[in-house]
Structure 1
Amino acid sequence: MNAISRFFWFCSGVHISTLEKHSTEQNKYIGIGATIFFTGLFAALSGGYAMYFVFKGAEGAVFFALFFGIIWGLAIFNMDRYIVSSINKSASTNKQILQATPRILLAIMIGIVISRPLELKIFDKEIKERLKVSYLNNQRSNIDTLNAAFENKYAIEMGKLNDAKAQRDSMASAIKTDRQKLNFEIFGNKTTETSGVMGYGPYAKRKEAELKQREQNLDTLTADVRTLEKFIDSRKQFDGLMTEKLYTGKQLDSLANIAGFADRNWALGQLSFNRDGSRDTSTYLAVTFIGLLFIFFECLPVFVKLMSSRGPYDNSVENIEIAQEYESDKDKDFEIAAIDGVHDTRVSTEIEKRKNQLYE
């Protein structure tokens, strides 16, 4: 426990030998040091997780994640340690608040940076589902865009093909109808257009000849349609339309698993909205409060230092600083006096003044 306490004292940035003389202050700085330590730990986890996505798929992804996570965690730890230790409790309340304001703003920025990668991990499943929907919609949009561009590029050929198909279908329908009428005429079915007399007479023979000619024309038109379709298919193959297909379930899972940091960050932002564009209040509040929690946790050491009253440890530190300043000024003044060859009365007066202040 003694080793752990001294470690947390170190984390809080206190003067350990001075703090050991004041047992009533020790627990306070253990709490401050522990908060700073765990803030650095969360920063290491956050930075390592973010870097893992940057190098995901590479052989050294885990190594780079661990290395950057340690560096980032130590950097945040050192910054928090400096922020807390630099607040001067001997100053007035307004001055302490003024000193802490830029540090709190910096802590808020650090909290935002730390919280984002951890939020990505917390909402990992929801992010993957949103990415799948996004990738599928994007693929469908790409296919529609390619088709629209192709139709615009080959508008004349597509127009000829559509006209030929319409003419073929119309001719085939008319031939089918006339073939049925011819059968009615041959088998003696009475209609408004047939005589009702069974047999293969001159009228039937003439209709048969006409139908054969029209069927030949239909065959020619069908061949033209096939030629145009073959040309259009070759152009689609050349422009890449034939290879563009909607993603399967396995492909969507694979894309979501290898998604980069930017895509996952975008998907996390989209979780706060429903598919119709309305805000999803529950998810929005969950994401917001998780971020605020990390921001508050990052600012907590500064708040604890500000809220804590001035104690014996702070008085001892101030006395040590005054003594060090006194010794420094004393050495400097004697050096100046030695150089001038005269012991200035004002120097002695100032030294005595500082000495009395220290003893008081």
Structure 2
Amino acid sequence: MNNTKQFFWWCAGVHKDTLNKFPEEHNKYISIGATIFFTGLFAALAGGYALYFVFSGGDFAIFYSIIFGIIWGLAIFNLDRYIVLSIDKTKGTFKQVLQALPRILLAILIGLVISRPLELKIFDKEIREHLRIEYLKQQQANIDTLNSTFQNKYATEFSQLNALKVQADSLESSIKTDREKLNHEIFGTKTNETSGVMGYGPYAKMKEVNLTKQEIFLDTLRSRINTKENLLVQRKGKEGIMDEKILTDHKLDSAINVAGFADRNAALSNLHENPDGTTEKSTQYAVIFITLLFVFFECLPVFVKLMSHKDTYDIAISNQNIIHNFESASNVDIEKNALNKLIPHRTDVAIQRRMDKLSQEYESKKESY
């Protein structure tokens, strides 16, 4: 427990010899140090997880993410430690807030940065499903674009093919009609175009000869259609269009596993949008609340320092600073002589005032300390 206390004191940046004189303040600075430490720990986890996507699929992805996570966590830890140390509790509340305001804004920015990777992990299942749908849409759009480009490129061939198909369909329909008329003639069915006499007479023979010619021509048309279609298929194969297919489940899973940070971040931003165009408020609010939670957690060390009252340790540290400043000002006579040499006709009233002020503060603080 003593080692833990000493460690959290170090995280809070306290002067141990001075703090040991005030046992009632020990737990307070343990809490401040623990807050700073866990903020840096969360930053390390978030930074490492974010970089893992950058090197995802590589042999050293885990190694790089661990190294970067440690560096990022230490940087945030050191920054938070400095932010807390730089707040002077001996000043008024307004001055403390004004002093901490830039640091709060910086903490908000850091909170937004470190919250995003952890949000990606929290909503990992939903993001994977969203990416699956998006990748399928992109693949289908790519196939449609290639087919459209191919059709525009070979518009003449497609026009000829469609004309042949229309002609073949019309001829096939005509053959079917003539075949019914031939059957009516053979079986003696009376119509406007048949004699009504049963048997295979000259009129029936003439119709059958005509049907045979039409069927031969239809076979020729179908052969020309097949030739034209095979030619277009070969050209599609040469241009690689036939290789573009809808992704299978296995290929989709592989693509999702190697999806980068940008794709996952975009998927998280659009996660509240349903395929039918509606918006799912619950998911949107969940992402916002998690972001605010991490922002608050990052700002927590500053808030803890601001909310804490001015204690005896703060007063002691302030008194020590006054004494050190006075002792370091003992060289003011040397400064004065140097200035008088540079500017002989100048009366150094400012330096004398500084000496008098520091002397008064020194005597009063020394007595109270």
- TM-score scaled to structure 1, two decimals? 0.93
Q: In structure 2, give the amino acid aligned to 1:211.
A: L
Contact 2:319 2:366 in 1 (8 A): no
* 1:141 positional shift: 1.3
After superposition, the C-alpha distances for 1:182-213 in whole angstroms (9 at most, x for unaligned) are 23322333333222323222112211221222
| Equivalent residue number for residue 17 of structure 1 | 17
| Aligned CA distance change for structure 1 residues 212 and 235 (closer, same or farther; 3 Å) | same
Q: SS at 2:163's partner residue?
A: helix
Residue 345 of structure 2: aligned partner: none
* Other-structure match for 1:128: 128
Q: Does 1:140 find its partner at 2:147? A: no
Higher mean alpha-carbon deviation, 188-197 vs 37-46, is at: 188-197
Q: Which deviations, in whole Å up to 9, do the C-alpha atoms of 1:25-57 show, x marking residues without a partner? A: 111111111111001000000011011110011
Q: Name the counterpart of 1:187.
A: 187
In structure 1, the gaps of 5 or more residues are none
Match of 2:364 in 1: 357
Tell me how far apart the structure 2 counterparts of residues 160 and 262 of structure 1 sit (CA, whole Å): 46
Percent identity of paired positions between Structure 1 and Structure 2: 58
Bigger shift: 149-158 or 73-82? Answer: 149-158
Aligned residues: 357
Contact 2:322/2:362 (8 A) holds in 1: no
Return the alpha-carbon distance in structure 2 between the equivalents of residues 350 and 81 of structure 1.
32
Q: Per the alignment, in what secondary structure is the counterpart of residue 242 of structure 1?
A: helix
Contact map agreement 2:84 2:305 (CA 8 A) in 1: yes
After TM superposition, give the deviation of residue 327 of structure 1 in Å. Answer: 1.0
* 1:32 equivalent in structure 2: 32
- Corresponding residue for residue 271 of structure 1: 271
The 3-state SS of whatever aligns with 2:197 is coil
SS at match of 2:189: coil
One-letter code of the match for 2:95?
K
- Shift of the 351–65 alpha-carbon distance from structure 1 to 2, 3 Å rule, reads closer
Deviation at 1:272, TM superposition (A): 2.0
Match of 1:224 in 2: 224
Q: Is the 8 A contact 2:184 2:194 kept in 1?
A: yes
The separation in 2 between residues aligned to 1:47 and 1:310, in whole angstroms, is 35
What is the aligned partner in structure 2 of residue 215 from structure 1? 215
Which residue does the alignment assign to 1:117? Answer: 117
Q: Secondary structure at the match of 2:242?
A: coil
Alignment of 1:170-209 (within 5 A): 170-209=170-209
Superposed CA offset, 1:220-240 (max 9, x none): 212221121112212222232
Extract unaligned runs of 5+ from structure 2: 342-347
Q: Which amino acid aligns with 2:365?
A: L
Structure 1 residue 351: Cα displacement:
6.2
Whole-angstrom distance in 2 between the partners of 1:287 and 1:333: 58
The Cα offsets for residues 45-70 of structure 1, whole Å up to 9 and x where unpaired, read as: 00110111100111111100100000
User: Bigger shift: 217-226 or 308-317?
Assistant: 217-226
- Give the 3 Å change call, closer, same or farther, for CA 337–216 of structure 1 in structure 2: closer
Distance 1:302 1:136 in 2: 47
Write the distance in 2 (CA, Å) between the matches of 1:350 and 1:108: 40
Change (3 A) 1:334 1:351: farther
CA distance in 2, matches of 1:210, 1:192: 19
Between the aligned partners of 2:55 and 2:335, the Cα distance in structure 1 is 61
Shift of 1:354: 4.3
Structure 2 length as normaliser, TM-score?
A: 0.91
- Preserved CA contact (<8 Å) 2:139 2:246: yes
For 1:135 and 1:111, the matched residues in 2 are separated by: 31
